A and B are shown apart, each in its own frame.
Chain A
Amino acid sequence: MISDIFTSYSFICAVLFVILSPLVGGIIMGLDRKLTARMQGRVGPPVLQPLYDIFKLFEKENIVVHGSQNFWVFSYLVFMIVTGVLFFAGGDILLVIFALTLAHVFVVLGAYSTGSPYAHIGAERELIQLMAVEPMIIIAAIGLYEITGSFDTAGIIQSPVAPIIFLPGIFVGMVYILTMKLGKSPFDLATSHHAHQELVKGLTTEFSGSTFAMTELAHLYELIFLLGFLFLFFGLAAPLIGILAVIVVYVLEIFIDNATSRVKWQLALKSCWIVTVVLGCVNLFALYLI
């Protein structure tokens, strides 16, 4: 019934997600930049710099190339929040995944609508990335269902055994595509958050001021959502190990980001699919044999 999803508990989770994600996400992003700087022998910006950036962007002049682009970006932000709300409120994980895809299609359409060559290529690459990661995410959702018997995140997280015990392949596969989802090297094909690659920012080339701030904000929401997704593999059966594992994975991502150079999109696509088949599908298939 309706009460299932609108219980006070899931309602609180959803509200906390909406309010705290920019802050927590901003701090994580700030630590990311700090750590990255240290790896490169720099001092790095203050931890809260990503948030300062967003505030600054909101103050800037509203410059657009095409009248409709802000609408698409705004829809992107809205649906990124919807994705996270659905996820943290304990909704159906497949719906969450489809809402995520919808959000990304919005930002891609925003990039297309500018008619700019750089944004165009960024949009095409973002679509290739979407195509590359979607199978793995769906398979991860199915894997979680097979172990916990629930498609709702509320049910998955309450699983008495940590799903990772049965889903090691799928977890590794998720970590692999996480690099792409976070826009980190070697899969920062469509756009990148980092100073060392922002000469021409692909997808977001033509977004500026408050529009660009919206994409940054959406990234923070997505970051929290993705880390939450990883946490599902541990759930309430092993919460501390789960938090630790998420931190380790994120530090690993930062390390990979700094240790690798960008690959061609062909390799990105093929490798994601191969990983999905080898780790994802085989893991799923193995569940039937146990």
Chain B
Amino acid sequence: MDVLIFLILFPLIAAILMLLLPNGKVRDTVVKIAALITAAGSVYLFVESFGKGITYVSIGSSLLGSVMIVAELALSLFIIGISIKFKHYLIAVLAVVQAAILTYSEHFTPFDAALSHEFFVDEFSVIMALIIGIIGSLICVYSVGYMRGYHEMHPEIKDHRKLFFFIVFLFLSAMFGVVFSNQIVWLLFFWEITTVCSFLLIGYARDKIAWKNAFWALLLNTVGGVGFAVAVMFIMLYTGDASYIYLNDLIAAGPGVAMVPAALIGFAGLTKSAQMPFSSWLVGAMVAPTPVSALLHSSTMVKAGVYIIVRFAPIFEASLTGAIIAVIGGATFLLASAIAIGQSNGKKVLAYSTIANLGLIVACAGIGTQEAVWAAILLIIFHAVAKSLLFLSVGSVEHQKHSRDIEDMSGLISTMPKIAVMMLIGMAGMFLAPFGMLISKWATIHAFVNAIPPFGVLLIAMIAFGSGITVFFWAKWMGRLIEVQGTSDKPLKHEATSNEMFTLYSLAGLTVFTCLAFPLISRYLIEPYIGGVYGSVSELLSLNNILIMLIMMVLILLLPLSIGHFGKGRTIKSQYMGARPANAGLSFAGSMGVTKEVTLSNYYIENMFGEKDLAHFSVVLTIFLLIVLAVVVVLNITGVVIGA
């Protein structure tokens, strides 16, 4: 399993190389090669670990333990330093608290006391590694072309591309670290690196708003980091067994031991996966260049958050703690979807839809049954693929149209047909049957009907409403893309750079591929993982339904062939204009000889789905839920401490 260590170290080496290479062709080529090797590495890991279940890996050097302590200290100092420099003292205080808690715990139970299986890989890690390795690498390739254009478009922003590629590869390295770490302190270390990386990427433009949003993200994630540190302290000081510092042992120990750490780490997961009330950092993160958004939203960062919550799902099953986390997720799904209706900024719609989908994943993990975990992992996969495709497409459109507003994407199918079709694929992937997300939503409903009453009913109601809302905001965007008013628009010869197009085609292909291959993904990756964790696997998806979905999928892929047939023998006329057309175009003859041009726009229903009111409401609601969660955790801790 050397490939596991390779996947963590290789992007790190690539990252350092990026700092040394100047802007230009050489660096661009190195980025592509490094991306290719990373992707190949993750595929190799999949092949090598196939069918082997859980495998442990140890580096077996106590030296590395000390290296990590130094690196962790440096990381804390960096956070403290930069937040003091920019006068964000609260972050500095939180970072100090976190460092103090860790040092205190380490003082009692040194890390290297039991260096035996600090890394592991199982099917879930492999799935995450494939997402990080393939999608993350594709985003790197896309960035090569995009960032060049970005700096041509924004001459006022200083060119920090060296740093950019350094951070991106560091980010990938840290993400591999997160999904392979078995030792929880290691996990926390990689976790913190992703926090700092996202902070630096969000602040890439280094103007006022970029710094503001970057520090906001840092603050919220540091709050989560403190929760994580408290979990480490609790494990070390109160569980009475040093082996619980290993994730697999902790989860195997069951709710009796693991409930408190699971809740605290789950809390950290909520901040990282941008669940309400912490969601604002992810919305603010869209000030960064588009590849950063794609990275944060699809394969890294937020996925680390849901990854850890899903890991702890067996602990949450049928518990009050789990139910509260599930309701936070469900509320986030419903409210973030509702907010998305009112947005005309394409990236903002994508951001809120990410938050909503993560909410669904969190809800599944909180319920924690086999079916729910199955649905959650499928959601992670489908969301990563489709959302990265959508973000990157919007980025390329923005370069051509100089706008990310949905209203400006009207008739995109005639001006940028290739990218428009890929956006349609991505959106269909997000909400339409029989595409991926819908399969998961269907599985989610199946999972919730049997979940602990009355939370199950509550969650079902949230999904039922959220589902209708999702249809509305995606379909109206799709409609905008294909709404062609004139006949004069000619397709652009050059829609985006070849690097960008390569990535977009690959992701569109992956979206369709995962939809067709999901029964295999389920059979060979997800079910073995669930079997390993729960001891048995019940039948999650009947063959009938798989067949029906595949038939529908094939039908959807075949239907576009009919366009050729319908192209024959037709008469093209202009639109009906209430019998008062002024000329061939879309204009009315008004009174007093005035000609009125027709302008169409979508409904945003801001008086019902306004961002401000809904966001305010959701923050209040979820903070209340968090307080309830805190009370439950404190009661649990008291129980454990008194019991000890």
Contact = CB atoms under 8 A, between A and B. Distances in A.
Given A74-B562, A127-B471, A135-B468, A114 B567 contact: no
Given A63-B571, A109-B479, A127-B472, A78 B555 contact: yes
> Which of B432, B471, B475, B574 has its CB near the most chain A CB atoms (within 10 A)?
B475
A86 B555 contact: no
B563 interface: yes
Interface of B: 411, 432-434, 438, 442, 445-446, 449, 453-454, 457, 460-461, 463-465, 467-469, 471-472, 475-476, 478-480, 482-486, 542-545, 547-549, 552, 555-556, 559-560, 562-563, 566-567, 569-578, 586, 598, 600, 602-603, 608
A65 B575 contact: yes
A13 to B, nearest CB: 15
B433 A112 contact: no
Contacts of A158: none
A134 B471 CA distance: 9
Contact of A86 (B432, B438, B453, B548): B548
B482 A98 contact: no
B482 A109 contact: yes
B432 A102 contact: yes
B467 A115 contact: no
B559 A82 contact: no
Interface in A144-167: 145-146, 151
Contact of B545 (A67, A92, A123, A136): A92
A4 to B, nearest CB: 6
A128 B453 CA distance: 31
Given A1-B543, A94-B442, A117 B457 contact: no
A139 B448 CA distance: 12
A271 interface: no
Nearest to B479: A112
Nearest to A121: B600
Interface string A43-64: 0000000000000000001111
A68 interface: yes
A130 B472 contact: yes
B433 A108 contact: no
A131 B555 contact: no
Contact of B559 (A74, A86, A118, A124): A74
Contacts of A105: 432, 471, 475, 478
Given A5-B544, A65-B572, A138-B464, 11 more contacts: A5-B548, A67-B570, A68-B563, A98-B433, A98-B434, A112-B479, A114-B575, A115-B411, A115-B485, A117-B586, A128-B603
B465 A135 contact: yes
Nearest to B476: A127
Given A91-B548, A98-B442, A285-B454, A117 B433 contact: no
Nearest to A101: B471
Interface residues of A, number: 70
Nearest to A124: B603
Contacts of A281: 457, 461
A91 B464 contact: no
Contacts of B552: 82, 99, 102
Contacts of B544: 1-2, 4-5, 91-92
A95 B541 CA distance: 12
B113 to A, nearest CB: 49
A205 B559 contact: no
B479 A62 contact: no
A285 B570 contact: no
B609 to A, nearest CB: 11
A18 interface: no
A128 B547 CA distance: 31
Contacts of A101: 432-433, 471
12 contacts: A61-B571, A109-B475, A112-B479, A112-B482, A115-B486, A117-B598, A127-B603, A134-B464, A135-B468, A138-B467, A206-B575, A276-B465
Contacts of B457: 281, 284-285, 288
A223 to B, nearest CB: 21
A138 B475 contact: no
Given A113-B484, A206-B576, A108 B464 contact: no
> Which of B434, B469, B570, B572 has its CB near the most chain A CB atoms (within 10 A)?
B570
A75 interface: yes
Contacts of A2: 543-544, 547
Contacts of A9: none
A-B interface, 10 closest residue pairs, ranked by CB to CB distance from nearest = A112-B479, A134-B468, A116-B575, A98-B433, A70-B566, A115-B485, A138-B464, A135-B464, A131-B472, A131-B468
Contacts of A35: none
B479 A75 contact: no
A99 B433 contact: yes
Given A62-B571, A63-B573, A117-B598, A74 B566 contact: yes
Nearest to A140: B464
